Chains A and B, each alone.
Chain A
């Protein structure tokens, strides 16, 4: 596709596509009824989450299996400040993101010294531990009984946004995550992330401050995840630790990125849209077995396209070989 467009314009192609995408999303909203708006908003939410996991897990190669900790932390930050301090959501939202980023940097300094599955397990442990802390700070967080953000009356600094409002907020967050990813992937910083993913020793040997790069990336990833978590908390009104620190949220982020293609701009978007859409469609049409079917489809996708759809297409085009069997063989050694 890119080949038919003159070179000077090609630079602007992603921007043009992005603007078109946003316009389409806004247009789509007018055509949907309320329940569907909510479903599509959830898709945007997962697009933003998948893109933010992709920064640390995809580009930098540090599989953060405790990514939900930033989601939960952002959510609780917003809920607690809105409830106890009566902050406006528009103040709580950015600060929740910053709090999550600061937490990411704090735990990142020790954890990012670990590599591979050691890092994955350690982040998982931090997420579980943080949830326990949130449960035990029940004066502040309501503990296991949850906390309810005031959405009506005098106590509510910000009125509940409703399906249409959250649709827009999630869309903005998805676009923000996309912008960050797009800029990072082309920048000097993005090169450092990819170099670290490939070989950390070699990256350090060409002058890359690997510690700083990793911690910054983790903070950036935590920031975006925290923003989404804060929005989710407000959307849910009442939140519980079990739900906001649910491992399944991390798993979904990982699966979406892996299926779409990790370390790419488009991969997480495709993965998130495809998986959420499929999941919803199966739920409506095959209610009783929908998780079974979804699981089977995920397994098949991961077996056939272990590198993800976008990376597969890229390699297939280069090798002029679209055979899935050859692809499986290449990755199974």
Chain B
């Protein structure tokens, strides 16, 4: 092993406008290490890879490969210095065979040859290594999702890399397909290759990483051995929200205290005190613990009924057999780790992604396969991830566009919910703060007086205070006659405001029930971080 790290970043950062997508990340990756990189949505993981491989130019800091400064070098220069990458969305060269796809890398890689026959022969060897030797003559468009991922691997290996950066190579794979990919990474690791794995599948991170880097909001949150990192309160907080982490810490303290108390065979009174914070806390979360008696009465009719729904993009199936219901005036939370299929489910419900199997009924009508505008007409409103406002239009115009379903929708009603918008009606939405934009997006969704509003990633990029303020309005929205289906990263916030919740993992609903009970369930943390 050489003393010089294969990859070193010093204060690496990039700004997109006002957003620091990667901020001051310093890191040293010695030869032979497999580094897992994790972090919630928008943490800057892919951006980090793009900075290292030259696909983005850093606005600050530097990148060193083998001690050589390559900051701002073009991607092909980096590739020639034996740094290979895969892309999160596979990028095969269509119109070439699988073999030719790999041959391009051999021709133009660091050991570039001009001989086509040599390149094709080497390509075949590499296809053999990744286990798709028999598919060389096929066009890449015919490959299965798993094989297309392997091709992406093969294209990277064609560069004979010393450092390999894998951007979500497990995404979209079925559980059974993950193991062969892991084995491939282990084999490369055994050959001494240095590997950086960006991955949402925590099981994969745990299986192959020597060290794990956690990014959060573009910054290096932590670096350490996988299990240590994944059970760290700060990491739990990044994934599940601040309050969740705090409660979890208190609970484990309480548990530890209880254990200690038992071990000391203390008096029964002491044990009672030890468990006290636990009870106290549940009360704090729900200041009026009296169950709402009207609820069961109201739920005589399930407004939205999702049955055995499967959906996906192209050949990638994302949702498998999803069941879900929302009753009138109910708030339902949908939580789960990145890539669980939450956004896809909302998109399927609003008709943006075709439903392959199963059915959706709304207010007693079958709406499976209906067009987007028809579904909006029937009373389902979708506030998409990232808000998708019309940034050049004023707040008022944005809101009026939301009134498409009901031209007489009154502005006053939504402004009453979000009074801040009232002061800014003539302001261009693109110039408002993230929180105000989110309010505007939700208000726009409410303009048509929908019976159900689906909000995707309400807190994305917002400060906690703002999130609290907006989440606080959800109960009013539900009370005014619009049920809420909420997809939210901040698990604590979501489960606190919701009555019921569903937990999704790799395209399936794995848990569901009373939101308060789920909040206390350790399996939630496991589904996010792989370990409880």
Residues of A bordering B, CB below 8 Å: 186-188, 191-192, 194-195, 197-199, 201-211, 263, 318
Contact = CB atoms under 8 A, between A and B. Distances in A.
Contacts of B301: none
B110 A199 contact: no
Interface of B: 53-55, 74-76, 79-80, 84-85, 87, 91-96, 100, 103-105, 107-110, 112, 114, 116, 119, 139, 155-156, 158-159
B79 A205 contact: yes
Contacts of B155: 202, 205-206
B136 to A, nearest CB: 15
Given A186-B116, A201-B75, A201-B87, A207 B105 contact: yes
Nearest to B140: A198
B85 A205 contact: yes
A207 B109 contact: yes
Contact of B87 (A198, A205, A263): A205
Nearest to A211: B74
Given A198-B92, A201-B55, A206 B109 contact: yes
Nearest to B83: A205
A204 B76 contact: yes
A195 B76 contact: no
Contacts, number: 88
B75 A204 contact: yes
Contacts of B110: 207
Contacts of B139: 318
A208 B155 CA distance: 13
A207 B79 contact: yes
A276 B110 CA distance: 46
Interface of chain A, helix or strand or loop or mixed? helix
B55 A206 contact: no
6 contacts: A202-B93, A206-B84, A207-B76, A208-B104, A209-B74, A209-B76
Contacts of B93: 194-195, 198-199, 202-203
Given A205-B84, A208-B108, A194 B95 contact: yes
Contact of B159 (A188, A192, A202, A207): A207
Contacts of B55: 201, 204-205
A333 to B, nearest CB: 11
Contacts of A209: 74, 76
Nearest to B110: A207
Contacts of B92: 198-199, 202
Contacts of A187: 116
A267 to B, nearest CB: 13
A186 B85 CA distance: 26
B91 A199 contact: yes
Scoring B53, B55, B80, B107 by chain A CB atoms within 10 A of each residue's CB, the highest score goes to B107
Given A191-B100, A207-B80, A202 B91 contact: yes
B74 A206 contact: no
B113 to A, nearest CB: 8
Contacts of A203: 93, 104
Contacts of A211: 74
A206 B91 contact: no
- What 8 A-B pairs come out closest when comparing CB atoms? A202-B91, A204-B75, A207-B108, A206-B105, A207-B79, A198-B93, A199-B91, A208-B108
